[in-house]
Amino acid sequence: MKSQHYTTVAQNHIYRHNKNSNVKYWFFGLIIFNSILLFMPWTQNIRSSGNITTIRQEQRPQELNSIIPGKVVKWFVKEGDLVNQGDTILQLSEIKDEYLDPNLINRTGEQLSAKQMSVDYYKGKAGTASSQIDALINERELKLEQTRNKLKQQERRIQSDELEFVAAQNEFAVATRQITAGQAMLDSGVISMIDFEKRKVNFQNIQSKKISAENKLANAKQEITILNIELNSIGQEFAEKISKASGDRFQSMSEVASNEGEIAKLQNQYSNYNIRSGMYYITAPQTGQVTKAKKAGIGEIVKDGEMIIEIIPDEIQYAVEIFVRPVDLPLITSGQKVQFWFDGFPAIVFSGWPNASYGTFAGKVFAVEKSVSPNGKFRVLVAEDPKEKPWPKQLRIGSGAKAMALLKDVPIWYEIWRNINGFPPDYYNPTTDK
């Protein structure tokens, strides 16, 4: 059997003992590089996700509702159309039987005019009653004054009659003495019967005169009583007349107040009917795009307060709403800078070096809500930073966004140590440019 001879590769070709290795240089170089890297600055941040919204609520998509129920008569727009403020969206017709009368406003106006005329009539009647009361008061004062004058005249007449009565009494006393003396003289024969009869006739005349003066005085006093009764009667009579006129006046005023209340009610109805007639045409409250039409066909019934369409405003000042954990809330302040990258827009993000990121957009914290949201986090609104690159015009409300709130600059080794131990970012008071 013939032997075979094999050749081997030279030992120096396998182990290359004569070759110098660079592994140790790479090893020490990586150690030095990593040591330097650990001391490089790192921007702490809070990461969160959110949605695009607006700063002002009137710029958000809003429902257009019908204030009154009705039936769709005509559509003036379709979904996707751009409308200006005041443009007519659709026309409704009435469905309630109390508003079906086409002359409802005119008839209500006629009722209102009739009530106003009634009020004017009762006001005139009340004015007439007031004039009548004034006339009765004047007449009463005149009659009272006349009666008082009569009373004064009668009092003076009584004084005169009393004087006459006193004079008649004196004459009667004299005549009584004379007739007594005449009787004595007749009995003694000093005077004749004829002289005595003359004295007797004179006595009787004087007695009659006394009785007449007494009766006259009594009649005068009786007249005083009558005049006092008449004075009271005048007051009572005119009090009744004035009371009746005052009753008529108050009744008229009551009718005026009642009719004025009905007028106010009719005016309210007239105004409501007039305003309601203007609600049959629903107009756009602001400029925007029509979306989400809830009613489609002609003749469909729309309930009061029911949504008809949705309008997305044309001019929008975008913002982003993000939600942060309660543990991170003390680190968020108004005016704080936030970096965003929006859904659909390419971005390269270096969370620790925001200046090296690409495709991000800057914002500032606009408001921080003080109450927790249903998801257990706090809502933060972030507006566009006017000093930085403007946000894309292609943004739409409701699309997503990722946020990164920038905090304190710390070394990388500290950030690694903090994350390993689960500590939150450092609390500090940032300098904000509002």
Q: What is the pLDDT of residues 158-178, one digit of tens each?
A: 888 788 878 888 888 888 887
Q: Tell me the average pLDDT across 14-26.
A: 62
pLDDT greater at residue 423 or residue 393: 393
Establish if 268 belongs to a structural domain. yes
Position 434 scores a pLDDT of 45
- Report pLDDT digits (tens) over 90-137: 888 888 888 877 888 888 888 888 888 888 888 888 888 888 888 888
First to last CA, the chain: 99
Nearest to 237 by CA among 128, 127, 139, 129: 139
Establish if 337 belongs to a structural domain. yes
- If pLDDT is split at 50, 70 and 90, which confidence band does 19 have? low
Position 20 scores a pLDDT of 65
289 phi/psi in degrees, rounded to 5? -110, 140
**In angstroms, rounded to a whole number, what is the distance separating the alpha carbons of residues 407 and 324?**
14
| Domain match, 133 and 245 both | yes
Type of residue found at 61: P
pTM score above 0.85: no
| Domain match, 116 and 146 both | yes
Write down which residue in 265, 290, 312 finishes a domain: 312
Q: Within 10 Å of residue 172's Cβ, how many Cβ atoms?
A: 19
**In angstroms, rounded to a whole number, what is the distance separating the alpha carbons of residues 207 and 169?**
8
Nearest to 115 by CA among 263, 269, 252: 263
Long-range CB contacts (< 8 A, 24+ apart) of 366-373? 366/55, 366/319, 366/334, 367/334, 368/329, 368/332, 368/333, 368/334, 372/326, 373/323
Are 355 and 42 in contact by the 8 Å Cβ rule? The answer is no
Domain count of the fold of the chain: 3
From residue 161, alpha-carbon distances to 166, 203, 322, 364 in Å are 9, 21, 117, 116
| Domain match, 135 and 249 both | yes
For residue 73, give both structure tokens: 């008569």
Residue 389: pLDDT over 70: yes
DSSP string, 353-407: -GGG-BS-EEEEEEEEEEEE-TTSSEEEEEEE-TTSPPPPTT--TT-EEEEEEEE
pLDDT greater at residue 257 or residue 12: 257
Establish if 1 belongs to a structural domain. no
Q: Within 10 Å of residue 17's Cβ, how many Cβ atoms?
A: 7
Q: What is the mean pLDDT of the chain?
A: 80
Q: Which of 206-210, 288-292, 320-324 shows the lowest per-residue confidence on average (mean pLDDT)?
A: 206-210
Domain hosting 84: range is: 62-94+280-312
User: Helix 23-38 and helix 412-421: axis angle, to 10°?
Assistant: 80
| Domain match, 132 and 273 both | yes
What CATH number does residue 373 fall under? Answer: 2.40.30.170
| Domain match, 126 and 251 both | yes
**Cβ neighbours of residue 108 under 8 Å, at least 6 residues apart?**
266, 269, 270, 273
**In angstroms, rounded to a whole number, what is the distance separating the alpha carbons of residues 333 and 402?**
18
Q: Report the C-alpha dihedral over residues 214, 216, 221, 224, rounded to 10 degrees.
A: -170
Nearest to 391 by CA among 359, 369, 426: 359
